[in-house]
Amino acid sequence: MAEGGVQLVSLDDIRLAAGRIRALVHRTPLIEVAAPAEGSSSGDPIRLMLKCECFQPGGAFKIRGACNMIAQLLPEARAAGVITYSSGNHGRAVALVAESFGAPAVIVMPETTPRVKVEGVRRHGAEVVFAGVTSTDRRICAEELARRRGLTIVPPFDHPWIIAGQGTTGLEILEQHSQVRTIYVPVGGGGQIAGVSAAVKRMRASVRVIGVEPVRAARMSASKAAGHPVTLESTASIADGLLTLRPGDLTFAHVQAFVDDIVTVDDEEIAAGVKWLFHEARIVAEPSGAAAVAAARRALEPDTVAVVSGGNVDPDAFASYIRL
């Protein structure tokens, strides 16, 4: 299937990815939480289904796409090494997968990366290179290093193998909750929502897929309004994993084809989502991972799944979010 001349990831691509990544990637649980709804006049509890990607090896959904791509590289490409540019979770996923395949890995990270994410990457033996504070800074550095050292770039989101890997989350949600009506997915560069929406809409078109991004990092909302990918001048949020300045061309095409809506949440709502997840579900989520929960708590819709996309959070920051 093509959208505006761009070839979209197929359901077969996603199903093949599910088989390819099975040995390394967890089938994460879908758990139901019922808890009081803040601001609800009815007194009825929120009943949310949580797709706990924070329980993955490496602490985030990113391992799905990284594993699907690295597993498909030729042996000589893996032996030469891989490189990526990442604010944290994708970098850790690439480091972890590369370690499992015996491949050298270089991770280009922003100078502002939380220490917990840098340490997570280094724990898997990867080399860390710091470059600026934007995704553009990181990409340019990674491309130059790849050229000089003969490394294969594993992009953070805008590649069909990455999107197909992330789409396996959507397959699992439909298998685990047959009555699901709405799925909320955090949006950064768009790889996860591209894959999840492609899987879900091709299997059950009636299920609504809603993207969630920080109000001060609403690049996908701006892109949808413009009808093409838009580059923001700057982004800001406590959700450090959702601060990409521009969606990918391929991820944007999937959003245009499959996603029902994109909504925004502010930092106060995101922090409240982190707190709610800890106190009501005993789940440790990073702000980026709690963004979908923040939007789902506001909507109060039945048969709703929120993807908790990651749990790599600085301990001191986490303590401030969950304080009663």
**Model pLDDT for residues 221-246, shown as the tens digit of each residue:** 999 999 999 999 999 999 999 998 99
List, for residues 96-136, the tens digit of each pLDDT value.
999 999 999 999 998 988 888 888 899 999 999 999 888 78
| Active-site residue identified among 223, 234, 309, 320 | 309
List, for residues 150-187, the tens digit of each pLDDT value.
999 999 999 999 999 999 999 999 999 999 999 999 99
Q: Does residue 181 contact residue 304 with C-beta atoms inside 8 Å?
A: yes
Q: Where are the domains of the chain?
A: 2-59+159-322, 63-153
Same fold, 2-59+159-322 and 63-153: yes
Pull the structure tokens for residue 146: 């790849």
| Active-site residue identified among 62, 117, 201, 224 | 62
Q: Does residue 63 contact residue 25 with C-beta atoms inside 8 Å?
A: yes
What lies within 8 Å, CB to CB, of 105 at 6+ separation is 81, 82, 83, 84, 94, 95, 98, 99, 124, 125, 126, 127
Give the separation between CA 106 and CA 172, rounded to whole angstroms: 31
CB atoms within 10 A of CB 6: 15
Q: Any catalytic annotation for residue 223?
A: no
Q: Any catalytic annotation for residue 62?
A: yes
Across 266-321, the runs of DSSP E, i.e. the strands, are 304-308
C-alpha distance from residue 68 to each of 2, 20, 37, 97, 124 (Å): 22, 6, 38, 10, 18
pLDDT of residue 87: 76
DSSP codes joined into one string, 30-85 = EEEEEEEPTT-SS-PEEEEEEEEGGGSTTSBTTHHHHHHHHTTS-HHHHHH-EEEE
CATH number corresponding to 63-153: 3.40.50.1100
Q: What average pLDDT does range 64-93 have in this prediction?
A: 95
pLDDT of residue 116: 80
Among 237, 186, 180, 234, smallest CA distance to 205 is for 180
Among 73, 91, 72, 89, smallest CA distance to 81 is for 73
- The torsion angles phi and psi of 111, rounded to 5 degrees, stand at -65, -20
CATH of 2-59+159-322, one of 2.40.420.20, 1.10.340.30, 3.40.50.300, 3.40.50.1100: 3.40.50.1100
Whether residue 264 is predicted with pLDDT greater than 90 in this model: the reply is yes
Sign of CA pseudo-dihedral 88, 56, 51, 290? negative
C-alpha distance from residue 225 to each of 7, 61, 130, 222, 262 (Å): 22, 28, 33, 5, 10
Whether residue 41 is predicted with pLDDT greater than 60 in this model: the reply is no
pLDDT of residue 134: 81
Whether residue 320 is predicted with pLDDT greater than 80 in this model: the reply is yes
